[in-house]
């Protein structure tokens, strides 16, 4: 498919790439992500086992309860008022922020994915693209309003993230 522009009586044809996302591209992206994950885990595994870095990066605990599930009880009976180091506080706050943002993002997705998939467009998308914003028809009337619903949802999600970060 090409787009032809007529500029000063000169036709310019520009090829338009096929943007349909198929399962091959999805599995290729998943495979690439998995390969990078394995490489990063191997790199950190090698660094963690190095005697030079092991004492600095992962000091051994003073006492270790015996058994596979022996950690379970001490983990839940620790005094929550015990002061954490600054690294521990930042880690707990970061994990809490990530959990809260993922919950909000999931709620927004529960609204937007049905909006994407149940549209009556002139040219509906096929396959995986049916469940993405690519299925939105940019037009006039209700089609344009559906696009603005997505824009407002993204602004609300960014605002919620800013509020979560500010709340600390």
Summarised one tens digit per residue, pLDDT across range 2-47 is: 556 666 666 666 666 666 667 787 888 899 999 999 999 898 877 7
Residues whose CB is less than 8 angstroms from the CB of residue 149 and which lie 6 or more positions away in sequence, other chains included: 112, 115
144 in Cβ contact with 126 (< 8 Å): no
Report the alpha-carbon angle 147-151-96, nearest 5.
140
Q: What torsion, rounded to 10 degrees, do the Cα atoms 9, 14, 15, 19 define?
A: -130
Domains of the chain, by residue range, sit at 1-82, 85-168
From the centroid of its chain, how far is CA 50? Answer: 32
Model confidence over 43-73: pLDDT tens digits?
A: 887 776 776 665 555 556 666 667 777 777 7
| pTM for this entry | 0.49
146: buried, middle or exposed (CB in 10 Å: 19+, 13-18, 0-12)?
buried
């Amino acid at each position: 498919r090409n787009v032809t522009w007529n500029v000063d009586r000169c036709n310019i044809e520009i090829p338009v790439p096929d943007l349909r996302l198929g399962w091959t591209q999805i599995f290729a992206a998943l495979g690439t992500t998995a390969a990078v994950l394995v490489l990063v885990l191997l790199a950190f595994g090698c660094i963690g086992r190095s005697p030079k870095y092991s004492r600095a990066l992962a000091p051994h605990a003073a006492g270790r309860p015996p058994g596979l599930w022996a950690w379970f009880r001490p983990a839940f009976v620790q005094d929550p008022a015990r002061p954490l180091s600054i690294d521990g506080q930042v880690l707990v706050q970061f994990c809490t922020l990530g959990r809260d943002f993922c919950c909000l993002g999931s709620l927004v997705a529960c609204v937007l994915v049905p909006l994407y998939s149940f549209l009556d467009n002139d040219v509906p998308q096929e396959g995986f693209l049916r469940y993405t914003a690519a299925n939105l028809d940019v037009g006039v009337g209700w089609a344009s309003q559906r696009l603005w619903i997505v824009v407002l949802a993204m602004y609300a999600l960014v605002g919620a993230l800013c509020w979560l970060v500010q709340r600390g």
